[in-house]
Amino acid sequence: MLHRKECSNGMRIVLEEVTSVRSVTIGIWVKTGSREEDPELNGISHFIEHMLFKGTEKRTPQEIAEAFDGIGGEINAFTSKEYTCFYAKVLDTHKELAIEILADMLLHSTFDQTEIEREKKVVLEEINMTEDTPDDIIHDLLAEAAYQQHPIAKPILGSKSTINQMSKQDMLHYLQNQYIPENIVVSIAGNANHNFINTVEETLTVQRNETLSDRKYLSKPTFHPKQISQTKETEQAHLCLGYEGVRIEDELEYAMLIVNNVLGGSMSSRLFQEIREKTGMAYSIFSYHSAFIDSGMLTIYAGTAKNQLYIVQDKIHHIVDQLRKNGLTTKEWENSKEQLKGLYMLSLESTNSKMGRNARNELLSQGHPSLDDIMKKIDDVKLDDVQYILDTLQSDSVATAIISPE
Contacts of 234 (CB under 8 A, 6+ apart): 134, 403, 404, 405
- Which of the residue ranges 47-56, 200-209, 224-233, 294-303 would you say has the lowest mean pLDDT? 200-209
The answer, yes or no, to whether residue 213 has pLDDT greater than 50, is no
Q: From the CB of residue 65, how many other CB atoms can be counted at a distance below 10 Å?
A: 13
pLDDT, residue 367, reads 86
353-379 pLDDT, tens per residue?
999 999 999 999 878 998 899 999 999
- Cα separation of 295 and 292, whole Å? 5
The answer, yes or no, to whether residue 218 has pLDDT greater than 90, is no
Q: Which of 16, 37, 49, 82 is catalytic?
A: 49
- In this prediction, residue 312 has a pLDDT band, given cuts at 50, 70 and 90, of very high
Average of per-residue pLDDT across 34-63 = 97
- In this prediction, residue 211 has a pLDDT band, given cuts at 50, 70 and 90, of low
Contacts of 278 (CB under 8 A, 6+ apart): none
Average of per-residue pLDDT across 124-141 = 96
Percent with pLDDT over 70 in the chain: 97
49 in active site: yes
Fold held by 2-203 = Cytochrome Bc1 Complex; Chain A, domain 1 (3.30.830)
pLDDT, residue 361, reads 94
Average of per-residue pLDDT across 36-46 = 96
> Structurally, what CATH architecture does the domain formed by 227-404 represent?
2-Layer Sandwich (3.30)
- In this prediction, residue 348 has a pLDDT band, given cuts at 50, 70 and 90, of confident
Contacts of 250 (CB under 8 A, 6+ apart): 256, 291, 296
242-286 pLDDT, tens per residue?
999 999 999 999 999 999 999 999 999 999 999 999 999 999 999
pLDDT, residue 244, reads 98
- In this prediction, residue 212 has a pLDDT band, given cuts at 50, 70 and 90, of low
Specify the domain boundaries for CATH 3.30.830.10 within the chain: 2-203, 227-404
Average of per-residue pLDDT across 381-391 = 97
- Cα separation of 309 and 32, whole Å? 37
- In this prediction, residue 206 has a pLDDT band, given cuts at 50, 70 and 90, of confident
